[in-house]
Structure 1
Amino acid sequence: MTATSTEGPCQPWYRTLSMLALADPEDHVRELTDWMEHASARTEAPSAQSDWDDAYRWLRLAQGLRTITFDMSYDDGGMCSAGIDFDGVWTEMMEGWQLHHVRLGYLRAALEGFVRLLHPDAADPQQVIEAAGQQLHHRAEAWPLHAREVAEPLGGYSLDPMASGGKASVAAGVVQAIALHENAVQGRAGIPEPATDADARIFAAGHAEVCATKEACSVLLLGIQLLMAAANENRVAVFDDKYLLDGKWVPDSSGGSHWVDEEMPYSEYLAVLHLEPGEPPEL
C-alpha cells in the first residue's frame, strides 16, 4: 500500500492571480497586525487603550501561529503497513485542518474584541460589519479587493440552509465564519479521514473542510479591515507611513493596477495590505 498526498481544489481564483491576488491567511494577518501596531483607539473611555491592546493580542496570536503538530498513529505494536500509511496521511491532514481552525478562533476573538471596543452598543459583529460596508459603499479606494468573493462560498457551509440564499456580503461571510468555528467548538463538525481508492492507495481527504476554514479566516480578516476603514476617521488614529520594502501592485481607479515601491500612508495601506505583492514590472 502506498500513501499519496493530493492538494485538492483549494485554490480559488482570487488566490491564483498574477497580480492583485489575495494573500494566504498567514501572510494576510501579518500585514494586518503590522497595521494595528501603528494605530490606536481614539476615544475618551478610560479603558479604551487596554481594550484595544487585548483585541490586538488575539490578532498577534493569530499572526504568531505557524504550525500545529499531530501524531495520529495508533501504535499498539502490531500495526500493519496499511494502518501506518493511513495514520501518516491522517496526521498531515489534521495538522493543516487544525492550523486553520486554531487561527479562526484567534481571529474571531480579535474581531469581536474590536467590535466591543468601537461599537459597545452593537448586538453582534454582523450588524457592525454591515454598517461599515454601507458606509464604505461609495469609497472604492477603501474597499478591500475580493472581499465579497471570499464571503460568497461560505454560505454553503452554514448550519442554516437558508443562509446561502442571500446576497454575498462580508457581513454574511463573517456570520458563516463564526458559525464554522462554533460548529467545531460544540463538537458538531465532522472530522475528515483519509480515503482509500481501488488500488489500495491512501489519499488525503477533507479538502472542502480545509478550504472552508481557510476562507473563513480570510473573511474575518477582511471584516476587521472594513471595521477599521469605516472607523479610522473618527474612532481610530493611524500613525506613520508604510514603507513597502519589496513593492506591491495596487489597484487604480481605471480598474487596472500600478506598482508602488515607496512609502504610503498606513490609512491607505489598509485597503491593499491583504494582497500578495506580486512580481515587479519588467524594466
Structure 2
Amino acid sequence: MTTTRMEGSCLPSYHTLSTLALSEPEDHVRELTDWVEHASAVTGGPGAQHHWDTAYKWLRLAQGLRTVTFDMSYDDGGMCSAGLDFDAVWTGMMEEWQQHHVRLGYLRAALEGFVRLLYPDAAEPGLAVESAEQQLRHDAGAWPVHAHAVADHLRTHAPDGVPGGGTSVAAAVTQAIALHEMAVRGCASIPEPDSDEDGKVFPTGHAEVCAVKEASTVLLLGIQLLMAAAVKEDRVGVFDDKYLLDGMWIPDASGGSRWVDGEMPYGEYLAVLHLQPGEPPEL
C-alpha cells in the first residue's frame, strides 16, 4: 500500500490574489502581536494595563506556536504495511488539524481578554465585536481588508447546530467560538484518512482544517476591529510608526493597491497588517 498526499480543494480566493492577499494565521498573528506590543490601554479601571498585558501574552502564545507533534501508530507487534501507511498519514493530518485548534484556543483567550478590558458590559465576545462594527460602519479606512469575505467563507463551513452566520465579523466570531467549543467538549468529528480500491491512503479533513484556520483568522480580525474602535475613542493609544522594512501593498483610494516601503502610522497599519507583503513593483 502506498500513501498519496493531496492538496485540499478549499482555497478562498483572497488567499491567492497577486496583491492584497490574506496571510496565513501564523503570519497574521505575528503582525497583530507586534501591533499590540506598540499599543497600550490608556483608559479603564484599576489594573487595566495588567489585563492588557495578559491578553497580549495569549497572543504571544499563538504567535509562538510552530508545531504540534503526534504519533498515531498503533504498534501491536503484528501491524501490516497497510495499517502503518494509514497511521503515518493520520499522524500528519492530526498534527496539522490540532495545530490550528491549539492556535484557535489561544486566540479565543486573547480576544476574550481584550473584550473584558474594552467592553466589560458585553455578555459575549460577539456582542463586543458587533458594537465595534457599528461604531466603525462609516469609517471604511478602519475596516480590515477582506473581513466580510472571510466571515462569509467561514459560514460555508458551519456544522449543523453551530450559531452564527452571515458576512458580519461579529456573527463569524460567534461561529468561530462555537467551533472551538465543539472541540473542547468532544463534539467535533475527528477526520481519518481514506483508502481507495488501489490500496492508496489519502489524507482527508481538508474542510475541517480550512474551517479552523479561517476561524482563527476571524478571531484575529475581531481583535483588530475592537482595537480600531478603541483607538477611535482614545481608549487605546498607539505609539511610534510602523516601518515597513521590505515594503508591502496596501489598498488605495481607487480600489486598487499601492506599494509602501517607508513608515506608516500604527493606527493605519491596523487595517492592513494581515495582508501578505507581495512582490515589489518592477522599476
| TM-score bin (small chain) | over 0.9
Q: Distance in 1 between matches of 2:36 and 2:162?
A: 35
SS of the aligned residue for 2:99 comes to: helix
Q: Which moved more, 1:3-12 or 1:63-72?
A: 3-12
For 1:240, the equivalent position in structure 2 comes to 240
Which residue identity does 2:60 align to in structure 1? R
Q: Distance in 2 between matches of 1:179 and 1:153?
A: 16
CA drift at 1:155: 2.6
Which residue identity does 1:190 align to in structure 2? S
**Aligned residues with identical type, % of pairs:** 72
Check conservation: 2:33, 2:60, Cα contact below 8 A: yes
For 2:267, the equivalent position in structure 1 comes to 267
Q: Distance in 1 between matches of 2:162 and 2:37?
A: 39
SS of the aligned residue for 1:66 comes to: coil
Check conservation: 1:158, 1:179, Cα contact below 8 A: no
What is the count of residue pairs matched by the alignment?
Answer: 282
For 1:207, the equivalent position in structure 2 comes to 206
Which residue identity does 2:27 align to in structure 1? D
CA drift at 1:161: 4.7
For 2:170, the equivalent position in structure 1 comes to 171
Please, which runs of 5 or more residues in structure 1 have no aligned partner?
none
Q: Which moved more, 1:135-144 or 1:215-224?
A: 135-144
Aligned 1:1-283 pairs, distance under 5 A: 1-159=1-159, 161=161, 163=163, 167-233=166-232, 234-283=234-283
SS of the aligned residue for 2:18 comes to: coil
- Aligned CA-pair RMSD: 1.3
Which residue identity does 1:173 align to in structure 2? A
SS of the aligned residue for 1:26 comes to: helix
Check conservation: 2:163, 2:174, Cα contact below 8 A: no
Please, which runs of 5 or more residues in structure 2 have no aligned partner?
none
Moved over 3 A (4+): 156-164
Which residue identity does 2:65 align to in structure 1? L
Check conservation: 2:162, 2:178, Cα contact below 8 A: no
CA drift at 1:216: 0.3
User: TM (normalized to structure 1)?
Assistant: 0.97
SS of the aligned residue for 2:258 comes to: strand
SS of the aligned residue for 1:202 comes to: strand
Deviations 1:34-65 (A, max 9, x none): 00000010114220000000101101100000
SS of the aligned residue for 1:267 comes to: helix
Q: Distance in 1 between matches of 2:162 and 2:206?
A: 24
Q: Distance in 1 between matches of 2:100 and 2:195?
A: 25
* Cα separation, partners in 2 of 1:13 and 1:237, compared to 1, 3 Å: same
